Every structure is written in C-alpha cells, then in structure tokens.
Structure 1
Amino acid sequence: MKVVIIEDEKPAARRLSRMLNEIGIEPIAMLHSVEEAVNWFYSNEHPDLLFLDIQLSDGLSFEIFEEVEVKSAIIFTTAYDEYALKAFKLNSVDYLLKPIDSDELNNAVNQFKNTHTITNDHSFNFEQIKDLISPSETNYKKRFTVKIGQHLKMIFIESIECFYSEDKATHIHTIDGRSYLIEDTLEQLETKLQPDTFFRVSRKYFININAIKDIISYSNSRLKIVLQSYNESEIIVSRERVKDFKNWLG
C-alpha cells in the first residue's frame, strides 16, 4: 500500500509515520504545506491513501484539491471538535482525531483495505466540509434592532454582554448595563451568533467571551460566570456544558 502523510507539524508527521511502520506500512512521502503537496502530486504517481491534516502552514488542505485532481483515498487527521466533525460524517469521510490512537489508526487502515476501491470520483463535498469548519462571518448577526416606545434602536453585537431568557421572553444585556427585549428565541440565536464569541452556558444564557469578568467554581461541578455589568441573577454553566465551555475558552 502506498501512503502519503500531509501534515504541517513535523513531530506529528513523524509520530504518525512511526505508528504506520508498526503496522507494516512505510509512507512514501511526508509533505508539510499546500504548495509542497500540489508540486508533489504534479510530479508523482498518486498514492493509494492520504493521511491529511486540515490546517496546513499555508492554508487549508482543501486548497490542494482546487489545484490537483487527487485520485487517492483520504483519511483526515484533525483536532477539530465534534461539531465540525459532523461534516465528515455527513460526507462519509473517514477521520482520526488528534492525538491519534494506535487502535483507531489500525481500524481505519483495515477498513480501507477491506472496503475501498481506488477511484477519482470523490463521494464527498469539500466545500460543505470547509464551510462547516470555517463558516463565513457574514452569516452571523452584526447588530439587532429593538423597539423603544416609538423609536427603533440599533444594538451592535460588540456592545452585547449576554442574551438571556426571562418570563418566556429573550433579552439583550449591553455593556452599559441596559436590557432590551428582542423577538428571537435563544434557540434561534444559536445559528445567528459567532460561536467564537458567544456561548450558550445554559438553557437561559448566551454570554460574550469578551464580557467575562470572573469564572468561579460552583457546586455540583458547575461554574459561575461574572460579567462586567450584568447582575440581575447568577449565571451558572450547567454541569453538562462545563467541558464544552472550557474547550470554548481554550
């Protein structure tokens, strides 16, 4: 079996190579960038299988396929979280989460051996995967319009500390300490807010990472969040969300 590793972190590439050696596979090349990979594919016979990192030193690995019609099967190696990985599952693409586990690597290779026939007809949509991993910021809300008496007021996303639900209504709380009623539910906001900036810590709250003043250990393995100005009630990260919250902070 001819195998190529495309991975920009050289220690990670060497580790994967050693793991493949242990199961009797000697990679024929280790490539570290989009440019290097494109040049290699133009001048070499395509391998049976690629182990492909998503984020390379000079861009996303998907850019390789914009330049070259790659005829190899692909196993992605990625550190992306479970939400982005939905893209791979939807497109029937095999993947290994970093740090790569030897048993999972062995299973992936055996599955390839047992089921794969080489074809240049990729059955998955690179653009869909790319969009889910790196969504365009233009899809997210940049401002909200609220009604105050007979007037309309624009509230820009940068000035919002949190969104909260109270008495079956949704409110915005801003950095100047004011709250406004909006029509969206918290569920609707999940697809409208930039996930790097806003996180739903519980059924009641979405918070802005830039508004966090303090994070305090709380009972039952939960966390208490203190924002810059919001003090209407305690903001508690529910126990089932603590792990995701910590990952979001990181």
Structure 2
Amino acid sequence: MKEIFENPIRMKKRLIVKKGIENIALKIEDIALIYTENKLVFVIDGQSGKKYITDKKLVELEEELDGSIFFRANRKYIISINFIKAFKPFEKVKIQVYLTVPELDHQIIVSQESAKFFRKWIDEV
C-alpha cells in the first residue's frame, strides 16, 4: 500500500464528487465533461448524464487528470476524448465539439488559442 503514495505521477482512477451531502467516487473513465459555472465546478457523468459538484478548481483537475484522455477546451471546459461524438470548425479558427452525453445543453467551443493543440491531441490519441 505504501508504494501508492510514493509515486506522484500515478494518475487518478476516481474523482470524489458531491450530490447534496453525499460524496461519490466517480470513475475517471465515466467523466465526460468538467465545467465551471457561477464559481462552482461541475462534473458530468457520461454514462448517466448526471451532474455532480467537485471542490477542486479546473486548473487543479487539469494537472491531475490524464492529458491523453482529457483536454482543456477553454477557460470553462475540460472534455474527455471518450465522449467526443464529433467536432467542426467554428468561426473560422475555433472548433465546436459535440459530446455523446444525452440531453447536454452546453455549446463547447475550443478556443482559438487551443484549437491547433486540440487537432494534434485528437489526432494522436
């Protein structure tokens, strides 16, 4: 058990999220989308479409999550490659991303600054 804590590069397998007062260990592979709204950070379960709250900031999550699976689309969103259905050009230089999550009402736009990195990331994974 000791070696788990000695390896700082180990990627997370679960993220602790909240639904009301209940803490839930959500599997990383089930996370479709992480976003911020009104100074809160929400996590969307891609399997059920349920929305949870996390105490972590997007910048912390971006550092902790596997960069081959998760991409910081802009200041508001982190998306999972496992739930990307399609993407298309948006306003010439940006990219609009569509996820497979049912009833998701978010318009996810990869920023102009991140668009070239997104294309490289999606092509290499």
Q: TM-score range by the shorter chain?
A: 0.7 to 0.9
Query: Is residue 248 of structure 1 aligned with residue 87 of structure 2?
Result: no
Aligned residue number for residue 63 of structure 2: 191
Query: Is residue 217 of structure 1 aligned with residue 104 of structure 2?
Result: no
Pick aligned residue for 1:147 from 13, 18, 29: 18
TM-score (norm 2): 0.84
Aligned residue number for residue 179 of structure 1: 51
The number of aligned residues is 115
CA–CA distance in structure 2, aligned partners of residues 137 and 209 of structure 1: 24
Is contact 2:34-2:78 (8 Å) kept? yes
CA–CA distance in structure 2, aligned partners of residues 149 and 242 of structure 1: 36
Q: CA RMSD in A?
A: 1.7
Which ranges of structure 1 fall in alignment gaps of 5 or more residues?
A: 1-135
Aligned residue number for residue 166 of structure 1: 37
* Residues 188 and 224 of structure 1, relative CA distance in 2, 3 Å threshold: same
CA–CA distance in structure 2, aligned partners of residues 216 and 137 of structure 1: 37
Which one-letter code corresponds to 2:60 in the other structure? Q
Which ranges of structure 2 fall in alignment gaps of 5 or more residues?
A: 1-6
CA–CA distance in structure 1, aligned partners of residues 45 and 8 of structure 2: 21
Aligned residue number for residue 107 of structure 2: 234
- Relative to its length, the structure with more helix (as a share) is 1
Which one-letter code corresponds to 2:99 in the other structure? L
Deviations 1:92-141 (A, max 9, x none): xxxxxxxxxxxxxxxxxxxxxxxxxxxxxxxxxxxxxxxxxxxx895222
TM-score (norm 1): 0.44
* Residues 146 and 239 of structure 1, relative CA distance in 2, 3 Å threshold: same
Aligned residue number for residue 76 of structure 1: none
Is contact 1:140-1:191 (8 Å) kept? no
| Larger gyration radius, structure 1 or structure 2 | 1
Displacement of 1:149 in angstroms is 3.4
Is contact 1:139-1:192 (8 Å) kept? no
Q: Percent identity?
A: 33
Q: How does 1:1-250 map to 2 (within 5 A)?
A: 139-175=10-46, 176-229=48-101, 231-250=104-123
Is contact 1:220-1:239 (8 Å) kept? no
Deviations 1:47-101 (A, max 9, x none): xxxxxxxxxxxxxxxxxxxxxxxxxxxxxxxxxxxxxxxxxxxxxxxxxxxxxxx
